[in-house]
Structure 1
């Protein structure tokens, strides 16, 4: 696929982080995360989605496996907040510089507080959006946490 460069892949190259880029043809009728897992032949628990929420009015990123839901109470608690709600899609796109379904936790336009689900540390590598629908990056959970300055907490509801 030509033109695979995104702010996420540029960040990985700049920081010399070991990773692999995987692309697949996105079907608009499919759920992004589960579609990625099926297309790449990996268990959904290893594919992580990037969600934006407002915790006490501050945008915060939650990164959880695609076969789970973001636990808003747990996300708020992880960053010392009280109340969380999902961010408006338009706000999420404008703030990150990515389109919904392709929001990468890496290379966002603005650095946001980030929380990565604890399950990310249980796999040798995980997959997250590369910044475009149909583009996934495979890297270690430790590298993802380091690059996003993420706090690791149990924020997924299974």
Structure 2
């Protein structure tokens, strides 16, 4: 991964944010197979990295209203979001997966390409603690077939993510 500001732009809000903040990152593009139903595992295989290093962005509904109604969870693609663990980390009794259409409207990205970076409407964000075990991790760059490799500390800072064990 380059330690200098990238000069290539893929034109997504996520890459624009990284460029503006001078965060080192690497773009990994691949041809998305429209017949796949597991975008994260497809990305890991296509870019040739362990699924534990590729993170998916999920949204949960908290039952609250306003900006607190949705929370972003960032977890490895080979794991499942632990709804009880994320609820506990948020200080709530219960959460449920957000409706995909609501997630798309809230973030400005399509399912399978929801980046945790530069979402249309900022949400409280939880990053799975497993991310901190790696020098770099991969997250969606803002559309299917585009992943960004960056340091988990940069992701945490830019999203103001809280870190907790939220997957199983």
Which TM-score tier does this pair reach, normalised by the shorter chain?
A: over 0.9
Q: What is the TM-score of this pair, normalised by structure 1?
A: 0.96
Q: Partners of 1:9 and 1:77 in 2: how far apart?
A: 32
Q: Partners of 1:28 and 1:45 in 2: how far apart?
A: 23
Are the equivalent residues in 2 in contact too, given 1:50–1:104 (CA < 8 A)?
yes
Over the residues paired in the alignment, what is the CA RMSD in angstroms? Answer: 1.2
Cα deviations across residues 98-148 of structure 1 (Å, max 9, x unaligned)? 000000000100110000000000011000000000000000111111110
Are the equivalent residues in 2 in contact too, given 1:115–1:150 (CA < 8 A)?
yes
Give aligned pairs, total: 156
Q: Partners of 1:10 and 1:154 in 2: how far apart?
A: 29
Shift of 1:74: 0.7
Q: Partners of 1:105 and 1:81 in 2: how far apart?
A: 22
Q: Which has the higher strand share?
A: 1
Gaps of 5+ in 1: none
Are the equivalent residues in 2 in contact too, given 1:7–1:106 (CA < 8 A)?
yes
Give the one of 81, 86, 95 matched to 2:92. Answer: 81
SS of the equivalent of 2:122 reads: coil
Superposed structure 1 runs of 4+ greater than 3 Å apart? none
